[in-house]
A and B are shown apart, each in its own frame.
Chain A
Amino acid sequence: MQLRKRSTIAVLLVLALSLMVCSSAFAADKVIKIGVLFPLTGPAAVSGQNCVNSVLAAADVINKANPDINAPLAAKVGLLDGYKIEIVKADHQGKPDVAKSEAERLYNQEKVFAVIGSYNSSATKPASAVAERAKKIFMCGCSSSAALTERDYKYFFRHAPTDAIESKEFVEYIEYLNKEKNAGIKTLGLIYENTEFGKHAAEEAHKAAKHTGLKVVADVPFNNGATNLNSEVQTLKAANPDAVFGAALGGDYSLWVRTMKQVNWLPKIAINYCTGYQNPAVQKELAGDGDHFMGGMGYSPELAKKFMPEAIKIEAKYYTPRSNQPFDSDSIQEAVMLFVLAQAIEKAGSLDTEKVAQILRTEEFPSVMSLSGTVKFEPGGQNIHALSVITQIKDLDYKTVFPIKYQKAQPVFPMTPWDKR
């Protein structure tokens, strides 16, 4: 009896061990681990979660057979003859030091092939420095600080338009309004979080404004996660600029809008960088208070219908079930980066980082989820086809107002005062 029991245990042990060996062998052979490093907690957590869901949606498109989606790698299962993408999540809490240590953990302990991230430019900067030192690939979807692609990094690639590109577009829009609509916008106010992202956005705004003769009359940085933005908005109100450029993420964005309502003040127009403006969840909470604000976007359901039909399919099949909302301009770019990386791996025919990085540096990639339809990186890693449009929100609907080529609605200008809404 005793012998039988021992034999049974021995057989079970052998079985368990062989299963473990098999599964680890399978994991080692047929899985490509990709780290996703985003703010999953902290003030920008909503956006971070959306970014992760977006990458997971892209992974599903690649890992499963999706003949209904007309995108590279969608029809077949996995890539490189049966490899599947495995996503390893990490949270940097919006903190640069945590981003650095989490990037080190992902590359060194989790042995990820590449990292996608990290939403906050302040977190992307140290995390991508870790990648560069280790000669590992870092794919950045939506961090917009121009400084990120001015470092001559060899393993860093970014999809989003930079703050410099957006600032230039914003002032072009103001010039258009002045010329075509007799808007009379002469002064500019800036309100931005006091971080890598906000400070660079403000710097670029100053440069762009100077170029076109706009006078910056208020420059208001604030600490993100603030208990109130009363002083900040009072400062703006006292200077009373015609236009305001905003760089406030998540909860800070809604606090900014609500505080402007509280002090009963609005500029003629308010245009936002990559901020809470683009997040449908934040806009839903703001309801009508968010109306008539504007912002740079690379995606909206309205744009997608015309220019990105496949993105709508991916959204419906894999993204909305996870996020309960459509893609937003930020999160969709993280999915693009996984598609681009997967195409580069497929073209390289191996998991040789050098080969894959070389292909990323030199080739052009079709992208069904980019407004421009293609992605190509210049030295330093900036996507030269990065494109964004200016939209204006009304009743949770983002309408493209600029450039004219994409215009779907005339801008509501000046913004409707609070007491007339």
Chain B
Amino acid sequence: MSNFVQVLIDGILSGLLYALVAAGLSMMWGVMDVINFAHGEFLMVAMYLCYWIGEILGIDPLFSWIAGGIFLFLIGALTYRLIIKNSLGKAAMAPLLATFGLSMLLKNFCMNRFTPNFRLLSGTIMEGKTFQFAGAIVSVPQLVTAIFSLAVLLGVYWLIKKTRVGWAIQATAMDKEAAELMGIDTENIYLLVFGIGGACVGVAGGLMTTYLAVHPEVGGLFSLIAFVVVALGGFGSIPGALFAALLIGLVESFAGFYIAAVVKYVAVFAIYLVVIMIRPKGLFGW
């Protein structure tokens, strides 16, 4: 029984983290129909930023995630202004290839500046803290990350559903020209969406430095899972991303423990394929 609870908790905590990583991607993809191939590298940049803030200034990731969020908001907005904007409306694959180039640039820049060494923050406030719950061990850093994920997701959801800016984002996603006719500055909406997308992954990356090693390749599998989450949950849907991420976290966890650890990603991608075949726009797609 304790094994079951442990696997369940692990799955939920992983899932909530995946949801936060995927939320930003979902917005970019859903609103702008732009696939940001550099999403995993955004995560890596945030992790490096919070790692160095912790290492040099001694500020714990429990607080430096704010810097991660703000910095990645700026990186996201800059990416739109300098790269995406110039590639939109050109060849169909231009934005995708441009962000692919950006991902290579960021990865190799970090590789060059910081070497491929694995860097792990020691002595953080939450390091190694655990507690028992229903016979299972809960990792405090992962739990806190999951709670923050949920809070940020709720915040973004509230922004989109309950504010005028959010309505403008939805309108832009549905019909850009009609939104412009209604007086919405779609340029700024795009900029904001890329910024918020970056901020989400920035917060996730910042918090992850409490328990995961930072290295130039750290974003790889996370971004792959984020793509699956977005496609599974539905492009642009925050509740969809949350549901899909939890599903993926749980499938990964249960398949990994009850079938075989080596098939956990096989199970994740198999479910993704089945859902996409049955419902191509995802579970909660706009």
Contacts and interface: CB of A to CB of B under 8 A. Distances in A.
Nearest to B255: A231
Given A41-B216, A227-B225, A287-B122, A234 B257 contact: yes
Interface stretch (A79-87, A179-187, A254-262, A311-319): A254-262
Nearest to B264: A231
B44 to A, nearest CB: 12
B253 A251 contact: no
A49 B116 contact: yes
Contacts of B213: 251, 254-255, 285
A403 interface: no
Given A225-B220, A235-B261, A262 B116 contact: no
A287 B118 CA distance: 13
A77 interface: no
Contact of A251 (B7, B118, B122, B137): B118
Interface stretch (A14-22, A155-163, A166-174, A215-223): A215-223
Contacts of A261: 128
Interface residues of A, number: 40
Interface centre among B3, B10, B117 (most CB of A within 10 A): B117
Interface in A202-255: 220-223, 225-232, 234-235, 238, 250-251, 254-255
A285 B118 contact: yes
A291 B260 CA distance: 29
Interface string B112-134: 00011111101000001010000
B220 A238 contact: no
Given A46-B117, A221-B261, A263-B137, A231 B10 contact: yes
B117 to A, nearest CB: 5
B261 A264 contact: no
A287 B122 CA distance: 8
Interface string B200-218: 0000000000011101111
Nearest to B220: A225
B219 to A, nearest CB: 10
A418 interface: yes
A132 to B, nearest CB: 30
Contact of B7 (A222, A234, A250, A258): A234
A254 B211 CA distance: 10
A234 B256 CA distance: 9
B144 to A, nearest CB: 13
Contact of B262 (A222, A254, A264, A418): A222
A281 interface: yes
B237 interface: no
B261 A254 contact: no
A229 B7 CA distance: 12
Given A231-B10, A231-B264, A254 B221 contact: no
Interface in B87-102: none
B139 A262 contact: yes
A2 B265 CA distance: 72
Interface residues of B, number: 40
Contacts of A228: 10, 14
A281 B117 contact: yes
A238 B217 contact: no
A263 B211 CA distance: 13
A43 interface: yes
A370 B229 CA distance: 50
A349 interface: no
A231 B118 contact: no
B222 interface: yes
A401 B10 CA distance: 37
A321 interface: no
A220 B261 contact: yes
Contacts of B217: 41-43, 45, 225, 251
Contacts of B270: none
B261 A227 contact: no
B118 to A, nearest CB: 5
B252 interface: yes
- Which 6 A-B pairs rank lowest in CB-CB distance, beginning with the nearest? A231-B256, A45-B116, A285-B120, A232-B261, A230-B10, A221-B262
21 contacts: A43-B215, A46-B116, A46-B118, A46-B215, A48-B116, A223-B264, A229-B261, A230-B253, A230-B256, A231-B253, A234-B6, A235-B261, A251-B215, A255-B212, A262-B128, A262-B130, A262-B142, A281-B118, A285-B119, A285-B120, A289-B128
